[in-house]
Structure 1
């Protein structure tokens, strides 16, 4: 094991042991200090980000990647606001979720406890550095971050501000650490730090997530690739469907809760397809359609089967005309990544069927998938969107970064011989 990782792991374990006993008011004080530190270090953070952007452009990174990388005063304010909101949320650590009396008179309860040391591997979004650090900290966990090399200067500048805030309230700066060596070899070792990491959370595209799932020996919480669908039913309010489609596709196409697939009931395809194409035209969205779609929209590019499995993270939309509701469900079941799925319909029973039929982390009726977000769900922020079913599912906030232990209170009880 690389000596640097061993040292970081040891420091994180020590910090985690202290943090799990740290009172809520001190954690909140530290979070408010982090918020202030981001504003105080805004000039330095933006300067570091400008360096990252310049390097990214020189390397020919795609426009969506550069957009994800870019910080601004507004985005720094968003990071600071998220930290303040996290400070205002209830602390899950120490909460007693259940307390029951056993036949032996024992009081047996479940108490929320931190996971311990969390490792996070993510890509080009420097705001993840602040969001992840704040969520892990409030939930009582130390964290070791490993961001993408394209955001290294930005991440270091943000880390400097956050660590200064910790020190200002007499907490160890090693509570939040950042791996600055971008090598794949070191990343591989990081995924196998079983002696120090209690869990590992990847946050990024399909390649990153699958690499971690294949190579990590540390327990992994899988965050989701978002191959999200919008199905326009034959009873849909088409004006509503258009508004939802434009928001879900074009508001922020490079995020996992943007839709990538549009399914349209054949009964409304002739009317709806030209309307939505016109609405998407200002955004220069490339429409990739099946034969039925192209018959109505000749400008559409022929869709391949692979297109229906692709998280584009760009102004590209795969479109298919389906014969009925069952065909839409079959398509979603075949291609969905279990992130967020939408139906637009005026039929109550169809809406209820969709909620029952679709197995995803978030299922929407007549609303945009862009709401699949920790802030929108009242969690303050999120460490990621989990598409797995064990431990956590959907936006992962404070509670999802904790586990529990049983606490047992007695009055001298002993267990009798059972013959086993």
Structure 2
């Protein structure tokens, strides 16, 4: 065992031991730990921002994209939001120990299902320091230990944040080892983590398509696939165009570097002549580059021709692919072919079309007359999220506390034996 492997294994061992105690830790103790973590983030904000400034400077020297720099950047508002997220999690019911079903068998046995923690959760993620806090807080409340491995771009931020919240949590009664951070930036550290069967119960990657696919293909530990978002907004022929414009602007421009931002706009041909030139101008004013189909180029002559790759792309930037479609069926076909099963939206006043869209689109979140930017644990009332699952096992969509548990069967008898 080399030095890197030894570090990762030792942290995983500590997390596994902590998980055993976390599984039955009282809610009051877990909540006290979360509140202490929130207070510590605010009390030591200067240290966190100083560490983040070092990461930002290194990112600038490396030439990181604007989207990555935005994900990496912390300020007073974002740190306070992280702290508030922990306090919001405290307000949520503790899922651990909840009996979700109970039934009686003909032989008199009472059979039920009880929620229990998953155990030790491994997180591999890129340049988003807020993930460190969200993951630690949600895992702790759901009775899980967590082993964090952030990207090298955020090493200073993540190291400072983990040290601060872990120290606060342990002082409040959380078992030591519940929050472990791998401070080795070598790729080998992540590869070791991916194969720690027996220590890590489930692995959750958060980041771009490259990271997620690497984890899916490399890991021997079970993986919950998250995050790649080629999200669409379809403006139907029966759309209220006064609703469509703010939805599109928000979905593309409010924060373009995140997975729930719109990447492709589909417009019905009946409304395209009046709507496309106007919305394109609004987008252009906000710095959006449009890459359009041939019909789009007729209405937006300054747009660039779209390539086949553009329909597949998760731009994570102020770039938008635009296509004019002849029908709802064509819009559904496009989403089926190019979508990543993340978030899709229709703008329409037609009840039948809205219901068809909700029924036929295969995605974790499907919207009628609302921005895709709402696909978020906090927005859905989960306090925070550990990721947005785009697969179907064992969770789908924003993953909150319940998604970080499984069930065990509990059986009450009166001396029954099987014949």
TM-score where L is the length of structure 2: 0.98
CA distance in 2, matches of 1:195, 1:257: 34
SS at 2:384's partner residue? Answer: coil
* Aligned twin of 1:347: 350
Deviation at 1:282, TM superposition (A): 2.4
Aligned pairs (5 A) from 1:164-313: 164-313=167-316
Match of 2:85 in 1: 82
SS at match of 1:173: coil
1:308-323 equivalences in 2 (<5 Å)? 308-323=311-326
**Deviation of 1:170 (Å):** 2.6
CA deviation after TM superposition for structure 1 residue 173, in Å = 3.2
Q: Give the length in aligned residue pairs.
A: 416
Determine which of 70, 73, 83 is the counterpart of 1:67. Answer: 70
User: Are 1:326 and 2:322 counterparts?
Assistant: no
1:353-392 equivalent positions in 2, closer than 5 A = 353-392=356-395
Separation in 2 of the partners of 1:218 and 1:414?
37
Question: Which digits, 9 at most, give the CA deviation of each residue in 1:200-235, with x for residues without a partner?
Answer: 000011000000000000000000200000000011
CA distance in 2, matches of 1:65, 1:99: 48
Counterpart contact for 2:22–2:175, Cα < 8 Å? no
Find the aligned partners of 2:177 and 2:125 in 1 and give their Cα distance.
19
2:416 to 396, 403, 413: 413
Residue 167 (structure 1) shift: 2.0
Q: Secondary structure at the match of 1:414?
A: coil
Partner residue of 2:11? 8
Return structure 1 stretches of 4+ with deviation > 3 angstroms: none
Q: What's 1:21 paired with?
A: 24
Q: Is the 8 A contact 2:113 2:410 kept in 1?
A: yes
Q: 1:324 Cα deviation (Å)?
A: 1.0
- Whole-Å separation in 1 of the counterparts to 2:290 and 2:31: 47
Q: 2:161 aligns with which of 151, 154, 158?
A: 158
Alignment partners' CA distance in 2, 1:386 and 1:67: 22
- Residues 27-61 of structure 1 show CA distances to partners (whole Å, capped at 9, x for unaligned) of 00110000100011101000000000011101111
Could you tell me whether the CA contact under 8 Å between 2:119 and 2:143 is conserved in 1? yes
The counterpart of 2:140, out of the listed 137, 140, 144, is 137
Corresponding residue of 2:104 = 101
Encode CA deviations 1:152-176: one digit per residue, 9 max, x unaligned: 0000110111111122113233100
How far apart, in 2, do the equivalents of 1:7 and 1:155 lie?
A: 19
Q: How far apart, in 1, do the equivalents of 2:65 and 2:332 lie?
A: 33
Moved more, 161-170 or 142-151: 161-170
Secondary structure of 2:122's match? strand
Q: Quick check: 2:277–2:299 contact (8 Å CA) kept in 1? A: yes
Rounded Cα–Cα distance in structure 1 between residues aligned with 2:247 and 2:367 = 11
3-state SS of 2:271 partner: helix
Q: Once the 2 structures are TM-superposed, how far is the Cα of residue 239 of structure 1 from its aligned partner?
A: 1.6
Q: Distance in 1 between matches of 2:100 and 2:249?
A: 41
Could you tell me the TM-score, scaled by structure 1's length? 0.98
Structure-1 separation of matches of 2:36 and 2:76: 18
CA distance in 1, matches of 2:104, 2:115: 19
| Partner residue of 2:52 out of 43, 49, 52 | 49
Aligned counterparts of 1:330 and 1:341: Cα–Cα separation in 2: 13
Structure 2 distance, partners of 1:6, 1:212, is 18
TM-aligned CA deviation for residue 4 of structure 1:
1.2
Provide Cα deviations, 1:56-88, integer angstroms capped at 9, x if missing partner.
101111111111100000000000000000011
1:231-288: per-residue Cα shift (whole Å, max 9, x none)? 0001111121011000000001001000100000011111111111121122110000
CA distance in 2, matches of 1:370, 1:26: 34
